Structure 1
Amino acid sequence: MTLQPETRSIEPRPSGTGAAPASAYATPFAAQRGTRRLRLDPKYGSGPRQVDVDYLWCGAPGAPTVIVQGGISADRDVTAAGHDDRPGWWQALVAHGAAVDLERWRVLSIDWLAPDRLGAGSVSSEDQADALAALLGELGIAQAHAFVGSSYGAMVGLAFAARYPRAVGRLLLLAGAHRPHPLSTAQRSVQRGIVRLGQASGRVDEALALSRQLAVTTYRGSAEFGRRFAGGPEWREDRFHFPVEDYLAHQGRRFVERFDANRFLALSESIDLHDVQPERIPVPATLIGFPSDRLVPLADLCELQRRLHGPATLEVVESPYGHDAFLKEPEQLAPLLREALA
């Protein structure tokens, strides 16, 4: 059974303000945003089952497809696709005229699967890869031109290339490796413990917010925190408040507004279950790492580059933003993405 997607053929909308009118673009734009029911066999499930996969497929009709996937909190809306006015989570790099140019490519992205849809106790990076491969088949795409993955998306990209090497032309992976670093696993395990404690005590939202606050301290670099929050404390509400606390509280509230605790637990665990043998991957790869990234050390990316079976390059981008540099450095990343896709 296939659930019918919403399909549109519309004039492209320029990103940003003060851009040229839509009529300035010669290339038509198609956006398909919907759900497909696909047959998957979850790694931690009890056998094959039908699974609904939510996806976005947008760009120039007939253009080569580029898969784009982000971190565990990212969704299929990598770019604005005419369904509303909100920019996508990677709008600066995926748009008309951007590094991933929707006049040249057609971008495919899915919402990450969680155990409730899979009918499994846990979800693996291989399950996400299987969903993308099945979706390519359903859409009639023999091979994706490239898989662009950031953070968890990079892990899924590696799982995809290991399982379906003929289904993708090349990999472009940012801040993600073949396995999680044990220290990063330790940090995420504490975050999951906080959420489980909140579930047990009936304070789920508080626990999820606190877990997100702790996570944010691992996403960003020490230099950024030092620059932004170096001021002294302020006496407020019968205690001292330090400058960083308001920022962390805001991040926690925002996360609770848009994320479910069980989904967070499953996807966080999925990162730590990830383990791919690079020697199984013959697909050409471009790796991008950040020296300030404490979650995915450059040493892990160097090891990945050495062990990949296919040709691989490693680009090192200096940034104060740590793991979040893939979201915060579009100007530095744009030429690397353009070159790799070309």
Structure 2
Amino acid sequence: MRPAAARAGDARHGSIDAVLATRFAGTRKLRLDYELVGPADAPVVLVAGGISAHRHVAANALDARAGWAQGLLDAGRALDPARLRILAFDYVGADGSIDAPIDTADQADAVALLLEALGIDALAGYVGYSYGALVGLQLAVRHPQRLRHLIAVSGVHRPHPYAAAWRALQRRAVALGRLQCADEQGLSLARQFAMLSYRTPEEFAERFDALPQICNGQVRVAAEDYLDAAGAKFVARVSATAWLRLSESIDLHRVDPAQVGVPVSVIAVEGDRLVPMADAVALLEGLGGRGRLRVLRSSYGHDAFLKETDRIDALLASELFGPGKPIERSSPIQAATGVSA
């Protein structure tokens, strides 16, 4: 493995060359791209998001652009890179180079290879949201010595059949677009379908309760501009092959909670249409004494992690810091309003 990195103060990004034995795609030579921000002697916390997330979590000295979880790394937050070393990476297959089934176990093995190459014996914490939570659970099964504590947000041990059906229809939209030589349109439509599953009817009722308009002889409802914009933004940065294979990866995911070898904080969102509360409870029950459930009430559903910055930050602080937690610090942690144990 060959580490290569660019540095700017406490920020660094780069890549390692690795050989990964995947579950379905054979043995592959890969480049694992990562970003590492924070003091060299600080506890390392890996942050991983959904299938469209990437290594750039927040603006830093090397890259001033906003990251996919920008507010959660602001000064004074639980994940403040002034006191923690934040690691993130691009998922295997995120560059579209693998057109074969990818498993969440492959992603966990890639994390282990990355940690080895970077000289990180173990993560103080792993914060995984959505797909990132699935990868974290695999890491806790396959490489428990590599982390002390997992925080799994809106992600559990298996996909719900309802959510899998949503994703299957999204993949059919991409396939139909390809048949029509309209790859971008198919992927855009798939993303728009996905937005309906990420959010809730309550949010749409609040934001888009307006009369439809007639445009060029066709009826157009209030949410269509929002959906079109979401699709266009997504197509500009994600390839169809990468999205298809990572979408499949969610549906391939299976973990036996009894085999998870580290403490897990399970954060569930009421109204999450993709990860129902019952599945979070099932994960907790399977974990036995190694699990703790926190519940967030939010109209944002599956996307609450990205929208409820203050409340998610409070949850992360309560699960990462303090007596008996993976990271010790002396400052008091305030309880989160609207969060129940």
TM score, norm. by length of structure 2: 0.91
- Match of residue 44 from structure 1: 24
Give, in angstroms, the shift of residue 112 of structure 1: 1.0
Alignment counterpart, residue 35 of structure 1, candidates 8, 12, 15: 15
- Match of residue 192 from structure 1: 171
Alignment counterpart, residue 242 of structure 1, candidates 221, 227, 233: 221
Give, in angstroms, the shift of residue 310 of structure 1: 4.9
* Partner secondary structure for residue 62 of structure 1: coil
Contact in 2 for aligned 1:149/1:156 (Cα 8 Å): yes
Contact in 1 for aligned 2:96/2:239 (Cα 8 Å): no
Give, in angstroms, the shift of residue 116 of structure 1: 7.0
1:207 aligns with 2:186: yes
**Partners of 1:94 and 1:122 in 2: CA distance:** 33
**Partners of 2:23 and 2:197 in 1: CA distance:** 29
Contact in 2 for aligned 1:115/1:122 (Cα 8 Å): no
**1:77 is aligned with what amino acid?**
H
Q: Show structure 1 runs of 5+ residues with no match.
A: 10-29
* Partner secondary structure for residue 67 of structure 2: coil
Alignment counterpart, residue 311 of structure 1, candidates 290, 300, 313: 290
1:95 aligns with 2:74: yes
**1:229 is aligned with what amino acid?**
F
Contact in 1 for aligned 2:43/2:85 (Cα 8 Å): yes
**Partners of 1:256 and 1:108 in 2: CA distance:** 26
* Partner secondary structure for residue 293 of structure 2: strand
- Match of residue 233 from structure 2: 254
Give, in angstroms, the shift of residue 96 of structure 1: 3.0
Give, in angstroms, the shift of residue 329 of structure 1: 0.3
**2:6 is aligned with what amino acid?**
E
- Match of residue 90 from structure 2: 111
- Match of residue 56 from structure 1: 35
Deviations 1:196-221 (A, max 9, x none): 11112201111111111111000001
Deviations 1:118-155 (A, max 9, x none): 75621111111111111111111111001100000000
Alignment counterpart, residue 119 of structure 2, candidates 113, 120, 140: 140
**Partners of 1:31 and 1:40 in 2: CA distance:** 26
Deviations 1:313-335 (A, max 9, x none): 11111100010011000111111
Give, in angstroms, the shift of residue 115 of structure 1: 8.0
**1:280 is aligned with what amino acid?**
Q
* Partner secondary structure for residue 270 of structure 2: coil
Q: Tell which deviates more after alignment, 324-333 or 86-95.
A: 86-95
- Match of residue 25 from structure 1: none
Alignment counterpart, residue 243 of structure 2, candidates 264, 269, 277: 264
Contact in 2 for aligned 1:46/1:120 (Cα 8 Å): no
- Match of residue 174 from structure 1: 153
Change beyond 3 A, Cα 1:135–1:117: farther
Alignment counterpart, residue 121 of structure 1, candidates 96, 100, 116: 100
Give, in angstroms, the shift of residue 84 of structure 1: 2.8
Deviations 1:244-292 (A, max 9, x none): 1111111111111111111110110000000011100121111111111
**Partners of 1:173 and 1:130 in 2: CA distance:** 18
**Partners of 1:92 and 1:112 in 2: CA distance:** 22
1:80 aligns with 2:56: no
Contact in 2 for aligned 1:42/1:118 (Cα 8 Å): no
**Partners of 1:116 and 1:148 in 2: CA distance:** 22
**1:221 is aligned with what amino acid?**
T
Give, in angstroms, the shift of residue 117 of structure 1: 7.2
Give, in angstroms, the shift of residue 157 of structure 1: 0.4
Deviations 1:21-62 (A, max 9, x none): xxxxxxxxx111011001211111233x43110000111121
1:161 aligns with 2:140: yes
Contact in 2 for aligned 1:282/1:309 (Cα 8 Å): no
**Partners of 1:198 and 1:224 in 2: CA distance:** 29
Q: Percent identity?
A: 41
What number of residue pairs does the alignment pair up?
A: 321
Alignment counterpart, residue 151 of structure 1, candidates 126, 130, 133: 130
